[in-house]
Amino acid sequence: MVLNILKGLALTAKDIIPVSLFLIVFQIFVLKSPIGDIKPLILGIVLSTVGLYMFIKGLEIGLMPLGSSVGSKLPLLDNKLLVIAFAFILGYTTTLAEPALASLAMEIEELSVGTMNNKWLIHAVATGVGIGISLGMIKIMYSIPYTHIIIPMVLIASILAYFAPNSITGIAFDSGGVTTGPVTVPLNMALAIGLSSVISGSDPLLDGFGIIGLASITPIIAVLLLGIIVKF
């Protein structure tokens, strides 16, 4: 047990330490700027390593098995509308828990001097993700080719971006990016794979993936619509 933990920490450190060293070397030798107090820096790297390891292990033993288990049992409901509604609620609520989205919304409200309400943005993005996850469930249950859904969504986003105010366009596309966070991705992806693994004729490799892409494009559409309606 202890040996496995040490191996896991070592693997995590291999991801964090090279990036940290690159930044340190760049600051010292290229920017010609001193690091300052080295102790907080070392402590931060250590805490980041331990925290990332614990988060990954938490996903492996908790969130992902739970999402996969729930997804594999959704057909027991024998009600596709209920499955779609569940997917929407899950996508909506997991997005509200994303720290990156909250940070983005606060920055936008501050920079816009309150003209862009952060709650409106957060709920628009969460609604978009909920719709995206629901579309993913529909795709799996009805064996709809992925391109038949994603291409129209991209076209809709492109058209809305043309008509939306310039002040909201960049925010909308960044909002789609922050939804691919540490809470939304593993749980919803595991849910989709779990569902596709028990649907007759469905291949988890073909049908279980792509749901995160849908959950990224639909919040862009939602925020663009918000900008057009509210006219920031």
Closest alpha carbon to 198 in 141, 156, 159, 154: 141
* In a shared domain, residues 90 and 174: yes
Instruction: State residue 135's pLDDT score.
Output: 94
* In a shared domain, residues 181 and 213: yes
For tokens 């330490």, the residue is 17
**CA–CA dist 188, 212 (Å, integer):** 8
DSSP alpha helix (H) spans, 26-115: 38-58, 64-73, 80-96, 99-111
Of 66-80, 101-115, 169-183, minimum mean pLDDT range: 101-115
C-alpha pair distances (Å), 19 with each of 12, 23, 47, 178, 219: 12, 6, 15, 21, 31
Average pLDDT score over residue span 43-54: 90
Evaluate whether residue 25 is within a structural domain.
Answer: yes
Evaluate whether residue 73 is within a structural domain.
Answer: no
Question: What is the separation, in whole angstroms, between the first and last Cα of the chain?
Answer: 55
Average pLDDT score over residue span 153-174: 92
**Could you tell me the two tokens for 117?**
């309400």
* In a shared domain, residues 134 and 41: no
Instruction: State residue 191's pLDDT score.
Output: 85
* In a shared domain, residues 138 and 61: no
Please write the tens of the pLDDT for every residue from 108-143. Answer: 777 766 667 788 889 999 999 999 999 999 999 888
* In a shared domain, residues 190 and 124: yes
Q: Among the three residues 13, 35, 66, which one is the final residue of a domain in this structure?
A: 66
Instruction: State residue 115's pLDDT score.
Output: 67
Please write the tens of the pLDDT for every residue from 31-46. Answer: 888 888 888 889 999 9
Average pLDDT score over residue span 195-224: 84
Tell me the residue range of the domain where 214 lies: 79-230
Q: Please give the tally of structural domains in the chain.
A: 2
Evaluate whether residue 197 is within a structural domain.
Answer: yes
* In a shared domain, residues 127 and 23: no
Instruction: State residue 79's pLDDT score.
Output: 87
* In a shared domain, residues 165 and 116: yes
**Could you tell me the two tokens for 98?**
């994303």
**Could you tell me the two tokens for 110?**
């501050």
Instruction: State residue 189's pLDDT score.
Output: 81
* In a shared domain, residues 33 and 90: no
Please write the tens of the pLDDT for every residue from 90-105. Answer: 899 988 888 788 888 8
